[in-house]
């Protein structure tokens, strides 16, 4: 044994020194010094001299070429540069524009394998200004009070006129338009808060407000408009004189927006009585929100100049123009009817629609720049409207379903006490907590001036998916109450409309399988984009130097992540310095582990699959899931810190965090088991899961604690409900149900006492009032307790009752076959 140790000691020293340097990401020269010191120590302690010499030779064989730049560049970097250039997948102009349009925030750290948590925790706490808070508490709540979703969705299929007027008077369409142009000048965070508050009252109202404040003429004008365009249009958009829409999608171009067949030909034409150079548009668009009521239409089209009126270029590219509704040749079609959520939406068509070049957004200078403009603004819109809608719906679903599950009784127990219902309540609680943190984190990034391309796709996909899952569980718990539509129903329309958010602004299937990891692997990776840019440099010497710097930075990064991933796997992420308190320190360690695992998987996939990786959509989707849940978990931890580490929130945080970690391991496991090159998959499994998968879904005990919080008035529940409209008014049945929870809990002991006495008595009264009379006479309850039970019965009935209708009330207004018989019934 001692002889074996004498032989092996130098190699173990070399291995340990290398692993230590890789784990801590020490420079190559430091690694060489450490390993040399260890080898000298082995020699002095009597290790076998041949073994020491072999280990030293191996160390020198690696260190010398790498530490001498000219030698390294000629022997290693130059051949690898040629190989890398062939390996690099060709990028189209549209792909390059999409990749270069966004900024990278903390999500870049999640790709590093060693996140700098101080960068996340030092970000300012998202907060509204006093003016923004006053608007949220004033006009925004006034709008919620006047919102009758049944009247909007069933009776009118539109907002009533007084609500349209209110939206315009209070400048809801100009939330983010600067004050100098007549808008309110609010932040993206405020935009998020407004949509989050409005959405539970009516998704029709929230989408009507959200669309003008996200991707549309106003956003594009603020970024790219000429001074003249800004001065004319922005004040009119802010006060509602102009209602905007943006026409991008068509029958032959949905998710693949770059293939739009709509075109514009540069030519001369007449505009306001003068002959000018402009564009003659031909377009066919559909699914355009606000189109039926819009007065100003933004249009995306491909611009051609066949006669060379603007220069030598014939195919100018995708461009964006503003077209007034009354422009000759423009046809606003009839309305679409999206899943009983009748927000204004419909097709737009046009043939030979002439507008001058001055109607190009940004003027002639931005002709052909439309795709870049859209990419830079899409992430802003995608970061706000849909995630905020999902967040508001999930939070309201959690609060009102918790109250309903406590109030609604079956077999003498609150339905929330049944374990099957508890499981659904726990899912609702955890996903509402995660959705709220994720949507706010992404909105806060926009508010800080970032253009979060990757977080916006993560937020859009996961908020809407979790929102749909919450809506499903809400419906399951409410049962018949959720199924029967009517003024009392606050759950059914959200369930009906859930697929809309899944589909719009990038279908979720495409978002997950193509965009999240596809963009993240290049944008967020610390070296890939630098390597790609280095290969594009024209000067050969500079190209080699920059590629050399990036390449060996990438190699050291990859080695470090492999070591870190294996070490964290072996130790179960129990060792390492992290921020956070006693409760969350282990959470940060777990995220360090999976950050390293993601980096290893990403590097291996890009190296071995090259350009084929973008066609391996299942692999891309799973790696996107890993990145997404790392980001979601980080957002939850950040909010937990911002809120002062509230102990009462631990069940919510723990359930949501364990759910994300479990899904990370499932995604990694799926990626490894299905890796296209099987031996590589087996090797990576040994690195990432040396003891196998260990993460489990949230436990039943944890689910019980999370569900109990939803059914009990407490500070954690109040924090989750922050930002919702919960006033118990006529138009807000969810608010009424929530308001009953505390009173119902106070009445529970009295109800139990009364029911027990009634069960043991021989009283024959069947009606509840008569039973109460007997209870007072028999001394089971006092007169005050009788009033308490009467109030409890009224609250319970209001909670569980559903609506019914005369047959004629459910017929469409356009139904004419039995018009003569319907009219008398309506009159009656």
3-state secondary structure of 467: helix
Q: What is the DSSP letter of 90?
A: P
Distance CA(434)–CA(427), nearest Å, equals 11
Report the alpha-carbon angle 278-282-283, nearest 5: 125
Q: Which helix (H) or strand (E) holds 55?
A: helix 49-67
What is the crossing angle of helices 678-688 and 540-571, to 10°? 60
Report the C-alpha gap between 432 and 199 in whole angstroms: 14
The CA–CA distances, whole Å, from 236 to 177, 239, 300 equal: 11, 6, 21
CA distance 29 to 290: 62
Cα 107 to Cα 279, 378, 659: the distances in Å are 42, 18, 20
How far apart (Å, rounded) are the C-alpha atoms in residues 127 and 174? 20
Whole-angstrom Cα distance, residue 612 to residue 598? 19
Contact 245, 252 (CB under 8 A): no
What values do phi and psi take at 298, rounded to 5?
-85, 135
The CA radius of gyration of the chain, in Å to the nearest whole number, is 31
**Distance from C-alpha of 770 to C-alpha of 773, rounded to nearest angstrom:** 5
Spot the catalytic one: 107, 109, 465, 505. 505
Q: Among 95, 115, 97, which Cα is nearest to 106's?
A: 115
Which letter, b or e, does each residue of 127-146 get, where b requires 16 or more Cβ atoms within 10 Å of its Cβ? ebeeebeebbeebbbebbeb
Residue labelled with tokens 């062939």: 86
The span from the CA of 431 to the CA of 659, in Å, is 9
What is the DSSP annotation of 131-199? HHHHHHHTHHHHHHHT--HHIIIIIISS--HHHHHHHHHTTGGGSSS-GGGTS----HHHHHHHHHHHT
Active site residue 505: yes
Give CA–CA dist 330/384, Å, rounded.
30
The conformational region for residue 265 under phi > 0 = left, psi -120 to 50 = alpha, else beta, is beta
- With tokens 């007072």, the residue in question is 776
Tokens of 621: 């989707």
Give the C-alpha separation, 558 to 555, whole Å. Answer: 5
Paired sense of beta strands 345-356 and 274-289, if any: antiparallel
Burial of 670 (0-12, 13-18, 19+ CB in 10 A): middle
The set of catalytic residues is: 505
């Amino acid at each position: 044994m001692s002889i074996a140790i004498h032989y092996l000691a130098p190699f173990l020293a070399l291995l340990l020194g290398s692993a230590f340097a890789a784990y801590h990401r020490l420079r190559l020269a430091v690694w060489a010094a450490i390993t040399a010191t260890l080898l000298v120590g082995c020699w002095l302690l009597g290790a076998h001299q041949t073994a020491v010499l072999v280990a030293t030779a191996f160390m020198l064989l690696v260190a010398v070429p790498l530490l001498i730049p000219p030698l390294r560049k000629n022997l290693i970097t130059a051949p690898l540069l040629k190989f890398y250039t062939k390996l690099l997948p060709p990028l189209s102009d549209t792909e390059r524009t999409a990749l270069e349009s966004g900024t990278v925030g903390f999500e870049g750290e999640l790709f590093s394998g060693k996140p700098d948590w101080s960068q996340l925790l030092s970000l300012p706490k998202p907060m509204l200004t006093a003016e923004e808070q006053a608007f949220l508490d004033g006009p925004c709540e006034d709008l919620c009070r006047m919102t009758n979703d049944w009247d909007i969705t069933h009776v009118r299929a539109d907002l009533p006129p007084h609500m349209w007027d209110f939206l315009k008077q209070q400048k809801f369409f100009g939330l983010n338009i600067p004050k100098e142009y007549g808008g309110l000048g609010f932040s993206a965070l405020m935009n998020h808060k407004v949509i989050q508050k409005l959405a539970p009252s009516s998704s029709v109202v929230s989408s009507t407000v959200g669309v003008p404040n996200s991707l549309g003429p106003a956003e594009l004008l603020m970024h790219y408009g000429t001074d003249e365009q800004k001065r004319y249009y922005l004040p009119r958009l802010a006060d509602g004189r102009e209602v905007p829409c943006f026409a991008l999608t068509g029958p032959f171009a949905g998710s693949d927006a770059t293939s739009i067949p709509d075109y514009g030909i540069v030519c001369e034409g007449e505009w306001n009585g003068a002959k000018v150079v402009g564009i003659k548009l031909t377009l066919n668009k559909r699914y355009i929100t606000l189109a039926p009521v819009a007065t100003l239409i933004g249009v995306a089209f491909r611009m051609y100049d066949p006669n060379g009126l603007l220069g030598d270029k014939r195919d100018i590219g995708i461009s964006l123009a503003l077209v007034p509704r009354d422009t000759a040749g423009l046809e606003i079609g009839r309305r679409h009817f999206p899943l009983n959520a009748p927000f204004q939406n419909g097709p737009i068509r046009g043939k030979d629609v002439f507008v001058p070049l001055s109607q190009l957004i940004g003027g002639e200078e931005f002709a052909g720049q439309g795709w870049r403009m859209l990419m830079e603004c899409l992430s802003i819109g995608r970061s706000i409207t849909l995630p905020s809608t999902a967040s508001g719906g999930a939070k309201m679903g959690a609060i009102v379903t918790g109250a309903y599950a406590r109030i609604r009784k079956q077999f003498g127990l609150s339905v929330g006490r049944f374990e099957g219902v508890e499981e659904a309540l726990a899912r609702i609680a955890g996903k509402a907590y995660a959705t709220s943190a994720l949507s706010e984190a992404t909105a806060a990034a926009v508010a800080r001036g970032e253009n979060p391309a990757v977080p916006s796709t993560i937020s859009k996909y996961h908020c809407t998916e979790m929102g749909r899952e919450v809506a499903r569980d809400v419906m399951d718990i409410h049962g018949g109450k959720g199924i029967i539509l009517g003024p009392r129903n606050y759950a059914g329309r959200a369930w009906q409309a859930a697929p809309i958010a899944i589909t719009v602004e990038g279908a979720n299937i495409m978002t997950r399988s193509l965009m999240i990891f596809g963009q993240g692997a290049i944008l967020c990776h610390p070296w890939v984009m630098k390597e790609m840019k280095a290969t594009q440099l024209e000067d050969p010497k500079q190209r080699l130097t920059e590629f050399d710097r990036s390449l060996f930075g990438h190699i050291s990064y990859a080695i470090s992540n492999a070591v870190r991933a294996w070490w964290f796997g072996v130790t179960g992420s129990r060792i390492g310095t992290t921020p956070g308190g006693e409760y969350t320190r282990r959470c940060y360690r777990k995220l360090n582990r999976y950050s390293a695992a993601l980096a290893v998987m990403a590097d291996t996939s890009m190296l071995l699959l090259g350009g084929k990786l973008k066609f391996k959509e299942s692999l891309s989707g799973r790696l996107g899931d890993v990145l997404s849940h790392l980001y979601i978990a980080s957002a939850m931890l950040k909010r937990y810190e911002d809120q002062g580490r509230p102990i009462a929130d631990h069940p919510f945080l723990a359930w949501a965090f364990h759910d994300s970690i479990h899904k990370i391991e499932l995604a990694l496991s799926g990626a490894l088991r299905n890796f296209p090159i099987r031996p590589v998959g087996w090797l990576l499994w040994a690195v990432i899961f040396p003891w196998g998968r260990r993460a489990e879904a949230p436990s039943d005990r944890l689910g019980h604690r999370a569900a109990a919080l939803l059914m009990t008035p407490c500070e954690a529940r109040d924090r989750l409900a922050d930002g919702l409209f919960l006033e118990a008014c006529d138009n807000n049945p969810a608010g009424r149900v929530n308001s009953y929870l505390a009173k119902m809990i106070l009445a529970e002991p009295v109800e139990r006492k009364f029911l027990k006495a009634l069960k043991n008595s021989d009283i024959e009264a069947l009606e509840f009032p008569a039973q109460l009379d007997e209870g007072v006479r028999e001394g089971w309850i006092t007169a005050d307790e009788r009033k308490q039970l009467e109030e409890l019965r009224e609250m319970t009935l209001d909670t569980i009752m559903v609506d019914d209708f005369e047959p004629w009330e459910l017929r469409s207004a356009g139904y004419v076959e039995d018009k003569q018989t319907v009219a008398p019934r309506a009159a009656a």
